[in-house]
Amino acid sequence: MRRFFSRLVNLFRGPRAESEAVREIESHLALLAEDFERRGLPPDEARRAARRAYGGVEQAKELHREARSFMRVEQLLQDVRYGARNLLRTPGFTAVAVVTLALGIGASTAIFSVVNAVLLRPLAYQDSDRLVTVLHYGTGPVATANYIDWRDQSRSFAAVGGADYWSPNLTNSDPPEHLYGLKVTQNLLPLLGILPLLGRLFVAGEDQPGAEHEAILSYRLWQRRFDGDPGILGKAITLNGESYTVVGVMPAAFKFAPFWATHAELWVPDAFGDSIHDRGGNHLRVFARLKPGISLDQARAEMATITGRLERQYPATNRGVAVTPLKENVVGKIETPLLMLLGAVGFVLLITCANVSHMLLARTSDRQKEIAVRIALGAGRARVVAQFLTENLLLAAIGAAAGLLLAFGGTKALVALSPAYIPRVETVAIDAHVVLFLLAITVLTALAFGLAPAMHAAAANLSAALKEGGRGDSAGMRRNRLRSFLVASEFALAFMLLIGAGLMIRSFSALQSVDPGFNPHNVLSLVVSVAGTKEAEPYRRALFYRELLRKVGRLPGVISAGGINHLPLAGDLWSRDFVIEGRPKPRPGESPYAIYRLVMPGYFETMRLPLRGGRAIADSDDTRAPGVVIINERAARAYWPGEDPIGKRIAIGHGDETGPQTWLTVIGIVANAKQEDWAEQPYPEMYLAAFQNRDFLGESSDPIAPHIMYVTLVVRTAGNPADLSSAITRAVRSFDRSLPVSAVLTMDRAVADATAQPRFETLLLGVFAAVALMLAAIGIYGVMNYAVSRRTREIGIRMSLGASHAAVQWMVARQAVVQALVGAIAGVAGALLLARLMAKMLYGVRPTDPATFGSVAIVLGLAALLATYVPARRASRIDPMAALRSE
Amino acid sequence: MPSEGADRMAVLQGTLDLIVLRTLQTMGPQHAYAIATRLQQISGDLLRLNQGTLYPALVRLEQQGRIQGAWGLTESNREAKFYAITKAGERALAEETLRWRRMSGLVEKLLSEGA
């Protein structure tokens, strides 16, 4: 203990203790010399003899120091000081190394912070890894009657709940607003395990018809529309014209649902009503919590049994029901691209390491003499390695600090750039995990780039280094091999990154040139919902929308206007089965189906969706006229191959509904329009006339009727469409002040959003590849340049013996060419492997696209050539006489 | 590079402290040079102590409070640091001696019986 303190004290009084030691050694030497003198040696010789007898004075001091103090700590501080001095002495080297490292570490950290928030962090529900979804083919909604059977028959789940999308109008509150919310079964919110901030969740019985008029608000909605009123509980709000009592407010961080309807900010109980017998209308999303001790596989097995039984009972239902971990549904789509980006940034970091590593190697060679002197003066080899590693760590730490700043900025930029499709992106932050990651990669980076040079430094041959002025070193060969390896691997990594980026760019440009079927320029879209207003009355609805279209169409700057239930790309996608007149009844599950659209006159004209045959829907297609339908080319080809569909009749449903069939005559065929996924081929599609559709007009009791109380207006304008949004809003409000206008969006924006994910990925990958290319070129340039400066003498001799400029240039370049070739071959192999993993993310380009591989090889070759050319030229310009004289 | 050559008999780890303490106990306060000389004399050059290695031992013992150093003058009027054994040093010496005797007895016994 005492020793510990005196060592601790010594740590702070280093210089004093040091002089004490020197004094004691001096005294010892003096006494020794005195002894030798007494034996008859002259004073000079006695002193020399004393020194010889004593041994290494410096080693003694070192031993002394070691005994005196916490050697490690003191050494470390000393190494840090020494390292810092060294780094400061070569500001150019340090600046380049720090910037390179900051790029590599900063980019990795920024991407990791996104991966951490989006992929790694558990979902913000209690024991979220026990939450699953039970949906058709993983993500598709299910019918109410099936949900009820699953809930009642399954034993694997602690609770099974359902949610249905619901977007009511908030009225009796200024301004009126079209809200996004969910109708949920009573048990759904409790099964998530998140307590409300205020009030309570729904309790048993509240999802029964008549008791369901209660609402839970999101924190944001509470703040935005009710100023965070703490007395909100028990107050009534008007949704779709009906009164709902607020019973709870959820915490600010609460979001539900996490993968679909992500912007929901209102939850009300779902009293299923008539739909409890419905097995055909799929609209409910089912969520469940596994019972403790039940595994996912057990739950899957049980659901397979249940749905198998139900399918036999009700043919063509309960197909492809999958139990999927909730998190998989949330992050599934983004997982591969994010991991790819993390991999890409990892490659950049590796290239960074390789670059800094051979910068250090070159520096180590120049410092050979210094190292030799230090070893001669008593530094152990381990000590030299430790010193180098400390210096490298210091370098990495400075790089990491700069990288952290970069990561802060980069993360913000990523979040701002990232399209809305990335779930949980709003939670991206530099948290403890990210800092830990940063520390880990900093240390790993320091080891990766620093270990080899440090080992080489310490392995130096002392006397050779001292004698030859640090030029001829025995470790040279090994060092050269290491350097070649570094350059080759940089090339391989850069090659792979460039292939990845090249494929993404090709794929993206293929996506860009996809024809959406319509002309999205100069079109504004906005949603006008009549729910809860007097315009919702069945007899008024058609009149209101007709008048509205007329009024908007007459606004200055408007070319035409139309309406549709769900806008392509931005809106929902409903699919409905139908029967074709005169055909045999299809087997269960094989009915023709099509995407279901309700359109108003003017829609095709406004969207410039070209008619391929027949006519468009006209004003005269109303309830008094015969029912009409327009189909897209895909539907025409799929269901009337080799036939002209025009004049044929279809009916929605399966042909076994009670009551008379409502036959619709096919009057026209339009081009295929992009529907939801930009890269997918459009599905068959049918457009019904809204003004003759009883569900839309509010004259039917079909369960889907309440879901079509809004219309997306599309308006083609002469100028910038966004300029007209306030004029159009005023036109809507002039009918009724309680009519909300929402989702105002230009079609160009909708198209951009549809390609936002590939754009984002392409942009990031492109940036990484560019950085990689630059770093690899800098790397090869540095190595070549260094090689030339080391071979000045040899080149001088060759030239004085008659070697031509070209021969010298080739001699220098040959090395680079070989390294680049080896790297490129390894890169092609790696890229072929990686591209296969990317196949799913590509559109219109094969992973082995020869054009991409070819152009990447050319780009990389040019970069290598350029990086080699300058040093090679310098080599051939060497004046033989000067070179020979210089050493 | 100077290092511990094969020709020198290394001081058994831990025994140097014992030897130094014993020397100071029998001879009274001494400076490092005198201790080193004394060790060489006694061992008859069998134990060739690198004089420099004595210092870490002295520093260590002083830090442990077993010896106490003070600057003084030698007979030839030279400045030197004189080390004296402390009470704690005496106690430690007694313990170490006992342990050493036991240990060496044991080793000796093992070596002769095992033959």
Question: Above 70 in pLDDT, residue A588?
Answer: yes
Residue ranges of domains in chain A: 2-69, 138-319, 334-513+756-885, 534-737
Burial class (CB within 10 angstroms; exposed 0-12, middle 13-18, buried 19+) of A641: exposed
The residue among A758 and A184 whose pLDDT is bigger is A184
Q: How many whole angstroms separate alpha carbon A465 and alpha carbon A522?
A: 74
Binned at pLDDT 50, 70 and 90, residue A93 comes out as: confident
Question: Above 50 in pLDDT, residue A352?
Answer: yes
Q: Domain holding B20: CATH number?
A: 1.10.10.10
Pairing of strands A266-269, A214-217: antiparallel
Cβ-defined contact of A56 to B63 (cutoff 8 Å) = no
Cβ-defined contact of A67 to B56 (cutoff 8 Å) = yes
Residues 6+ apart with CB under 8 A from B60: A3, A67, B17
Nearest to A31 among B33, B50, B52 (CB): B33
With CA atoms as reference, the chain A residue closest to B75 would be A31
Cβ-defined contact of A3 to B63 (cutoff 8 Å) = yes
Q: How distant, in Å, are the alpha carbons of A799, A812, A883 from that of A877?
A: 10, 12, 11
pLDDT of residue A62: 65
Predicted confidence (pLDDT) per residue in A214-270, tens digit: 999 999 999 999 999 999 999 999 998 899 999 999 999 999 988 888 889 999 999
Binned at pLDDT 50, 70 and 90, residue A56 comes out as: low
Tokens linked to A511: 């996506």
Count helices and strands in chain B by DSSP H and E runs: 4, 3
With CA atoms as reference, the chain B residue closest to A54 would be B51
Map tokens 């993968």 to a residue: A259
- Please give the average per-residue pLDDT across A80-102, as a whole number: 85
Predicted confidence (pLDDT) per residue in A601-634, tens digit: 999 999 999 999 999 999 999 989 999 999 999 9
Containing structural domain, residue B48 = 15-113
CA-based nearest distance A394→chain B, Å: 30
pLDDT of residue B9: 47
Residues above pLDDT 70, as percent of chain A: 91
CB pairs < 8 Å spanning A and B: 76
* Chain B residues touching A53 at Cβ < 8 A: 51
Question: Above 90 in pLDDT, residue B106?
Answer: no
At position A174, the amino acid (one-letter code) is D
Residue B100 within a domain = yes
Residue B60 within a domain = yes
The residue among A195 and A788 whose pLDDT is bigger is A195
pLDDT of residue B45: 63
Q: How many whole angstroms separate alpha carbon B39 and alpha carbon A413?
A: 74
With CA atoms as reference, the chain B residue closest to A9 would be B63
Residues above pLDDT 90, as percent of chain A: 39
- Please give the average per-residue pLDDT across A515-524, as a whole number: 94
3-state secondary structure of A218: coil
Binned at pLDDT 50, 70 and 90, residue B2 comes out as: very low
pLDDT of residue A470: 42
Q: How many whole angstroms separate alpha carbon A45 and alpha carbon A131?
A: 88
pLDDT of residue A47: 80
Residue B2 within a domain = no
Task: Say which range, A45-49, A737-741, A762-766, B27-31, has the weakest mean pLDDT.
Answer: A45-49
Cβ-defined contact of B55 to A59 (cutoff 8 Å) = no
Cβ-defined contact of B55 to A54 (cutoff 8 Å) = no
Nearest to B52 among A60, A375, A462 (CB): A60
The residue among B37 and B88 whose pLDDT is bigger is B88
Cβ-defined contact of B2 to A59 (cutoff 8 Å) = yes
Map tokens 């800094």 to a residue: A356
Cβ-defined contact of B56 to A376 (cutoff 8 Å) = no
Residue B4 within a domain = no
- Average model confidence (pLDDT) across chain A: 85
- Torsional sign, CA A422, A406, A360, A452: negative
Residue B9 within a domain = no
- The domain tally of chain B equals 1
pLDDT of residue A369: 73
Q: How many whole angstroms separate alpha carbon A166 and alpha carbon A38?
A: 109
Cβ-defined contact of B78 to A35 (cutoff 8 Å) = no
Cβ-defined contact of A67 to B81 (cutoff 8 Å) = no
With CA atoms as reference, the chain A residue closest to B49 would be A54
Nearest to B56 among A57, A63, A376 (CB): A63
With CA atoms as reference, the chain A residue closest to B51 would be A54
Cβ-defined contact of B1 to A376 (cutoff 8 Å) = yes
Predicted confidence (pLDDT) per residue in A127-157, tens digit: 999 999 999 888 888 889 999 999 999 999 9
Cβ-defined contact of B74 to A31 (cutoff 8 Å) = yes
Query: What does pTM read for this prediction?
Result: 0.74
Map tokens 């991966």 to a residue: A115
The winner for highest mean pLDDT among A68-82, B65-79, B101-115 is: B65-79
With CA atoms as reference, the chain B residue closest to A68 would be B59
Task: Say which range, A141-155, A412-426, A819-833, has the weakest mean pLDDT.
Answer: A412-426
- List, in sequence order, every residue forming a beta bridge with A846; answer none if it has no partner: none
pLDDT of residue B42: 75
Nearest to B78 among A27, A59, A462 (CB): A27
The winner for highest mean pLDDT among A87-91, A387-391, A578-582, B105-109 is: A578-582
Question: Above 70 in pLDDT, residue A295?
Answer: yes
Residue B62 within a domain = yes
CA-based nearest distance A453→chain B, Å: 23
Residue B68 within a domain = yes
| Residues of A engaging B, defined by a Cβ cutoff of 8 Å | 2-3, 6-7, 21, 23-25, 27-28, 30-32, 34-35, 53-57, 59-60, 63-64, 66-68, 375-376, 462
Residue B104 within a domain = yes
- Please give the average per-residue pLDDT across A714-737, as a whole number: 93
- Please give the average per-residue pLDDT across A760-774, as a whole number: 88
Question: Above 80 in pLDDT, residue A510?
Answer: yes
Predicted confidence (pLDDT) per residue in A9-44, tens digit: 555 555 566 677 777 777 877 887 887 787 778 888
Predicted confidence (pLDDT) per residue in A854-864, tens digit: 999 898 888 88
CA A682 from chain centre, in angstroms, equals 26
* Chain B residues touching A462 at Cβ < 8 A: 1
Cβ-defined contact of B51 to A63 (cutoff 8 Å) = no
Cβ-defined contact of A56 to B2 (cutoff 8 Å) = yes
Q: How many whole angstroms separate alpha carbon A575 and alpha carbon A137?
A: 15
- List, in sequence order, every residue forming a beta bridge with A580; answer none if it has no partner: A650
**Rg of chain B taking only CA atoms, in angstroms:** 16
CA A533 from chain centre, in angstroms, equals 42
pLDDT of residue A473: 42
Cβ-defined contact of A57 to B52 (cutoff 8 Å) = yes
